[in-house]
Amino acid sequence: MKLSLLKKLRVLMNGTQGLLSAIVFTIGCGTALYSFNHIDFDEYIYLSSNTATSSGVILDVYQTSSIVNDEYVYRYDYEFELDGISYYWSSYNAGYGIEVGDKVKIEYNIDKPEVNRIAGMSNTNSLIFFYLIPFIIGLIWFSINVFFGRRKLDIIEHGVLTDGRYLRNEMTSMEINDKRVYKYFFSYKDDDNEEHELTIRTHSPEFLFYNKSDNIIYHSNKPDRALFVDNLSGSLPEYVRSNLKKEEQF
């Protein structure tokens, strides 16, 4: 069965979970861009080898709003001179221990002295990496939903309607909204009269019993893959059920 682009997207989003994951991922993309703009990547590329040290002087000290191990992170602006050229940059470190005018050791890349930092410090505020957390969580969550959504779409596009027969249920140790999650077992037969089993975990099993006929779709080429029609979101259950019935008539 072929679906319109909009309905394909609805299936791929895997329902409400997919929508929420897409929102988190979108927010995460924004925070990741902010994070990338404040990370000194040159520091990690050029100051891991081929370095030398020189002496510099602190020009200014700023207390940031970031806290690490109960200490504020400070930004230290500094200057150092090499071969008659002055270089200006900033490094970050937790705790206040250097005053304006203090001498500090500067680490720089021999071939690119414009890439430098105060020895033992970083040119990137360490807490900036926390802005990547929403992106990572959103990416993983969204990818999982798209993976399962793609499996659902594949079943629907190659689907065959059949009647599922309720077998039993088992209580799990999980709870959602103070309601126990149960594992429900159903059986169904494919066109070759071979029996398969479909299981689903839910704390709201009502949808499993909306329809006792035409309640399961299985993949025509992989009959062990199946889904509950009424577990699809919105108006998709009736749309999919009615269209598959029409296809069976021809």
Question: Per-domain residue ranges for the chain?
Answer: 43-124, 158-249
Residue 215 CA to residue 161 CA, distance in Å, equals: 7
Residue type, position 32, single letter: A
Q: How confident is the model at residue 120 (pLDDT cuts 50, 70, 90)?
A: very high
What pLDDT is recorded for position 250?
Answer: 60
Span 181-197, mean pLDDT? Answer: 93
pLDDT tens readout for residues 28-40: 999 999 888 889 9
Tokens of 23: 């929102």
**All residues at 6 or more sequence positions from 63 whose CB lies less than 8 Å from its CB, including other chains:** 72, 74, 96
Q: How confident is the model at residue 212 (pLDDT cuts 50, 70, 90)?
A: confident
Whether 196 contacts 164, CB under 8 Å = no
Residue 20 CA to residue 16 CA, distance in Å, equals: 6
Whole-number Cα distances in Å, 58 to 69, 75, 97, 101, 164: 24, 10, 12, 5, 75
What is the CATH architecture of 43-124? Beta Barrel (2.40)
Element (H, E) at 26: helix 15-37
Whether 74 contacts 95, CB under 8 Å = yes
Residue 249 pLDDT exceeds 80 = no
Tokens of 230: 């009424």
What pLDDT is recorded for position 118?
Answer: 96
Backbone torsions φ then ψ of 12, nearest 5 degrees: -60, -35
pTM (2 d.p.): 0.70
DSSP 8-state class, residue 146:
H
β-partners of residue 90 are 77
Closest by CA position to 13, among listed 200, 137, 142? 142
What pLDDT is recorded for position 245?
Answer: 80
Tokens of 98: 């250097």
Angle value at C-alpha 231, between 229 and 232, nearest 5 degrees: 75
